[in-house]
Each structure stands twice: as structure tokens, then as C-alpha cells.
Amino acid sequence: NCKLLEVLNVGNNKLVDHFPCMLRDSNSLRVLVLRFNQFNGNLTCNVTINSWQNLQIIDIASNNFTGMLNAECFITWRGMMVADDYVETRRNRIQYKFLQLSNLYYQDTVTITNKGMEMKLVKILRVYTAIDFSSNRFQGMTPYTVGDVSSLYVLNLSHNALEGPIPKSIRMLQMLESLDLSTNHLSGEIPSELASLTFLAALNLSFNKLFGKIPSINQFLTFSADSFEGNRGLCGFPLNNNCESNGSESLSLLPPTSVPDSDSDYEWKFIFTAVGYIVGAAN
């Protein structure tokens, strides 16, 4: 019933509840913070084209949410699709006048995780956008529709059970400054399209099942090895294991799927025999 509610912050409590789907029709809500509680269940709200239309920051990290990410949500979050990067002015901040006959304003604050560190936003710009779903139990594929929130600054989906490839649609997030997909079950190669994210200052893809050569252009030349550790199939700069230029590269970059145990001894004997034959022929 709070028709003018713009910020709802109940973080760092001991609340046990489900996701507040009843707020999906709010035309005013811009910031939703549920972090560090005991919320549970999934995010399957019956959304419409007008659901969450002004939402610009959603932080539900460190709860017990489960299930798959709702692909329809990313389509309706039009508050994260601002076309212009407005100049920081008073009217572009979320603020509340509490003395009608004065110029005093109440500035709301929220704490979010940005670039691996907690950061307090004292003045929340109306164009600042962030999604933090980290440290839950989400599973399944990362929705391709994540690329629709084109003005997103921060995306943190770390410490879940997400699987499958990194969506190439992330290349559409041209304002993205921080991307954390670490500690999941993501597989496949790192999309070369991510190199087009020229504003990306922090990247963490560690502890997944990624394989292949790390893109060696643009922003990827600035990231440390910590961004890619825990992916045994990755190679290239900044890791110490260089990608081979010969035929053995394809073997070293295969994802960690093995042959059946019953045939494993035979398969390995065959591989070693073949390698020995090739070396002997070369000599």
C-alpha cells in the first residue's frame, strides 16, 4: 500500500520469508535490498510488462533462494535500460524532503558489493544500476535475457550452482564495470565478445569449468590470474600455462568430461601408443 515507496532495505536481519512478489506492480520502487537474511524459495513471480519497471538496484545476496533465474524479469526491469548517462545533479538522486519549509533532504544509503568489495552508496543516482544474486543456490542456465538490462553497472551471480556457457548477450552490457560469475559450474569457452566491454574494471570468472584460450585483447589484458584461477581447462595470459600451437592444444582444452571407467585403461593405452608412434616417426 506504500504507493510512493522507492527504497526497501531490510538487509542484515534474520528474516525468514519468500521473495516479495507483491511488490512487482510497484511503479515507484527503485531499490530492493534483501541481503544477509534467510529468504528462500524461487523468483518465479507472475510478471507482466509493467512489473518492476523502475527497479534499478536489486540485492538479494546471501540468502537461500533456489531454482532457476527468471528470464522474464530481466526484460521488465526497464529502470536498468536507461539510454543516457545523466550528469550527477540533485534531481537525479534518490532523496526525500523532510522539512517542507526548508531545503533539507534525507539521503538514503545502501551497501552493495562492487568489484569484490562492499561499497556504501550515500547518494543513489537514479541511473546507477546493480544486480547482486550472489551466495544463493540458483541453478540452471544464465538467461540470455540478461543482455537486455543494457545500462547495468554491476552484475554479481557468484557462489551459486549456475551451469552452461557464459551468455554472449553480456556483450550488450556496454556500461558494465564489474562482472562476477565465480564459484559456479559454468562451462565452455570465455566468449570473445566480452572483450568489447571497454568499461569493465573488475572481472572474476574463477572456480568454474571453463576451458579454452583466454581472450587476449582490450580489457582482458588488464586482469590478473586471480580472475581465472580454478578453471583447469583455461590457458593463455595471464595464466602461466600457455596454449600450445600444435595439435595437443585441442586435447588440453577439452572440458573435464572423461570416458567411461570400464574403457579408460584401454583408451589411455591407445593414446600413449599413438603419441609414441608419432614421436618415433618424427625421429
Separation between Cα atoms, residue 82 and residue 174, nearest integer Å = 12
Do the Cβ atoms of 79 and 30 come closer than 8 Å?
A: yes
Residues 74-85, mean pLDDT to the nearest whole number = 75
Assigned domain for 12 exists: yes
Separation between Cα atoms, residue 149 and residue 152, nearest integer Å = 6
pTM equals: 0.77
In this predicted model, what pLDDT tens digit does every residue of 42-77 receive, in sequence order?
988 888 888 888 888 899 999 999 999 988 888 888
Do the Cβ atoms of 159 and 135 come closer than 8 Å?
A: yes
Do the Cβ atoms of 144 and 120 come closer than 8 Å?
A: no
pLDDT at 267 over 70: no
Separation between Cα atoms, residue 121 and residue 103, nearest integer Å = 21
Separation between Cα atoms, residue 236 and residue 192, nearest integer Å = 13
Assigned domain for 191 exists: yes
In this predicted model, what pLDDT tens digit does every residue of 169-183 receive, in sequence order?
999 999 999 999 999
Assigned domain for 215 exists: yes
Hey, what's the cell of 242?
A: 600457455
What is the extent of the structural domain holding 181?
7-235
Q: How far, in whole angstroms, is CA 131 from its chain's centroid?
A: 8
pLDDT at 257 over 50: no
Residue with the bigger pLDDT between 250 and 149: it is 149
In this predicted model, what pLDDT tens digit does every residue of 217-245 receive, in sequence order?
888 999 999 999 999 999 999 998 888 74
Separation between Cα atoms, residue 201 and residue 236, nearest integer Å = 20
Q: Is 225 helix (H, G, I), strand (E, B) or coil?
A: helix
Assigned domain for 277 exists: no
Assigned domain for 222 exists: yes
In this predicted model, what pLDDT tens digit does every residue of 124-152 receive, in sequence order?
555 678 899 999 999 999 999 999 999 89
Q: Is 45 helix (H, G, I), strand (E, B) or coil?
A: coil
> Distances in Å between the alpha carbon of 81 and those of 34, 54, 74, 144, 160?
22, 10, 10, 16, 25
Assigned domain for 271 exists: no
Overall domain count for the chain: 1
Q: What is the CATH number of the domain that holds 26?
A: 3.80.10.10
Burial class (CB in 10 A: 0-12, 13-18, 19+), 99: exposed
Burial class (CB in 10 A: 0-12, 13-18, 19+), 181: buried
Separation between Cα atoms, residue 207 and residue 87, nearest integer Å = 38
Assigned domain for 48 exists: yes
Separation between Cα atoms, residue 167 and residue 263, nearest integer Å = 34
Assigned domain for 275 exists: no
